Amino acid sequence: MTYGSSAINQEAIAAEFPFLSEREGKPLAYLDSAATAQKPTVVVNALSDHLLLHNANVHRGVYPLAAESDALFEGARERIAARFGRLPQETVFTKNATEAINLVAKSWGPANVEAGDLIVTTVMEHHANIVPWQMLRDSSGCELGWVEVDSDGQLDMASLDALLERKPKLVAVTHVSNVLGTINPIVEIAERVHTAGALLLVDGCQAVAQLDVREAVAVADFYVFTGHKVYGPTGIGVLLARRELLAAMPPFLGGGDMILTVNRERAVWNELPYKFEAGTPPFAEATALAAAFDWVDSVGLDAIREHEHALVSETLAAFEQLPWIRVFGPQDADSRGALVTFEVDGVHPHDVAEILGREGVCVRAGHHCAGPLMESLGIGASTRASFAVHNSSEDVERLVAALHEVQRIFAD
C-alpha cells in the first residue's frame, strides 16, 4: 500500500494531529481541509501559550507583559511578511480573507472606481471574491465583467483578453479554485493585467497551504489569504499589498489603534499597517499563524505538494473506474490543487456526504460558496474531497469504499 509521497513521514505527521483518532469506532478520514484545515499540536500550543503566558493587549501597555505580547505579535508579522517577500508595513492582519477583500473593495474601490469603469472577476470565484465587487458596482455604477471557464475547468484566457481590451481598473482572481481545483497561472495573468493598466487582486486561500506563492505575491497588487486553511487558527487573515497602494487608501474601519490622535474636530490616521487594523487585533492568532507557517516550512512545501498530488492522482485514477462518478475540473492532477469535486449519478450531494459521514469520511457537499460556477456547470451542488498533509492512501481507499456504499444504498 502506498501512502502518498515518500517525502512525507506519514506516521510522524499523523502523530501531530490528535483528531485522527477513531470516532464512534471508525477510523476518521478528514477530507475537508479546503473548508478548514486541522491544526497540528505545535499551532495549538502557540495559541494557548500566548493566551496563558503572554496575554496582554498590544500597542497599549508599557508594562513587561504588554511588551512581551507586542513582541510576539509584531514578530509574527515580520516573519509572515518576510516569508512572502513583503515588508511588515505591507502586511495587514484582518479577521479572514473575506474581510481582506472587502477592505480593498470598500477602501481602494470608492477612491478609484467611478460609474462606467470596469471591474473584472471570474466565474470560478468564491463568493468572497464576487460579492464585494457586486456591492462596489451597486454603489459606484461601475460594471462587473466575467472571465469564463472552459470545458476542462481552466480560465478562458481569450475571455480575459477581451475584457482587458476595455481597460478595467482591477481584476480579481483566485489562485486555486476551491471547487475545480484549477491552479491559475497568476504570473501570466499579472503580465496581461498590468499591460492593460489594471491592478490585480489574488485570492490565495486554497494556495498558501500547498504551493510556493512568493512569485504570485510579488506580481500581485493585492494578495489575500486566511489562516485557518493553512493549519493556522480561525479569526485571522492577511492582506499583502504594495505599500504605495495602501498608503493612498483611506481606512476601512474606524476606532482604536488605527489613529494617531483624535479631537472633537478630526482624527489623524496611524501609519501602515495599523491604519487598517482598527480595534484589538488578533494578536494571539497571529502568533499561532506564524507558528503554522514555520510548521509548514519544516515539513517542506515541495514535499507537501508532492504528497497531496499523489493522493489526488490516486483519487482520480480510482474514480476513472467508477462510471457513475463525474469529476469536475482538470482531469490531470498536475493542473489542480489538493481537491477533487464530483457528483454521483442519481444521488444528491448532501445524501452522498451524509452516508460518507456515517463511514467516518468527512467531505463537503453543497454549492461551495461558488454560485456562478455551479450555474456555469449546470448543477446545483456537488461533493468535494480535499486533502492535507496528514491524509494517506488509506483515506482514499475509505473514500472509495464509502462511495460504493452510497451506490449500493441507492441502487436498492
Q: Which helix (H) or strand (E) holds 268?
A: strand 267-269
Provide, for the chain, the percentages of residues in helix, strand and coil under a 3-state DSSP scheme, each rounded to the nearest 5: 45, 20, 35
Question: What letter would DSSP give residue 335?
Answer: G
How many Å apart are CA 364 and CA 34, to the nearest integer?
9
How many Å apart are CA 109 and CA 131, to the nearest integer?
13
Residue type, 155: L
Name the active-site residue from 142, 205, 362, 369: 369
How many Å apart are CA 233 and CA 292, to the nearest integer?
9
Half-sphere exposure of 171 (CA within 13 A, CB side): 33
Half-sphere exposure of 238 (CA within 13 A, CB side): 34
**Strands ordered across the beta sheet of 364-366:** 325-328, 339-344, 382-386, 364-366
Q: Which helix (H) or strand (E) holds 245?
A: helix 243-248
Cβ-Cβ contacts under 8 Å for 285 (sequence gap 6 or more): 47, 227, 232, 233, 234, 235, 236
369 is catalytic: yes
Cβ-Cβ contacts under 8 Å for 25 (sequence gap 6 or more): none
Dihedral sign for Cα atoms in the order 297, 300, 304, 306: positive
Q: What positions carry a catalytic annotation?
A: 369
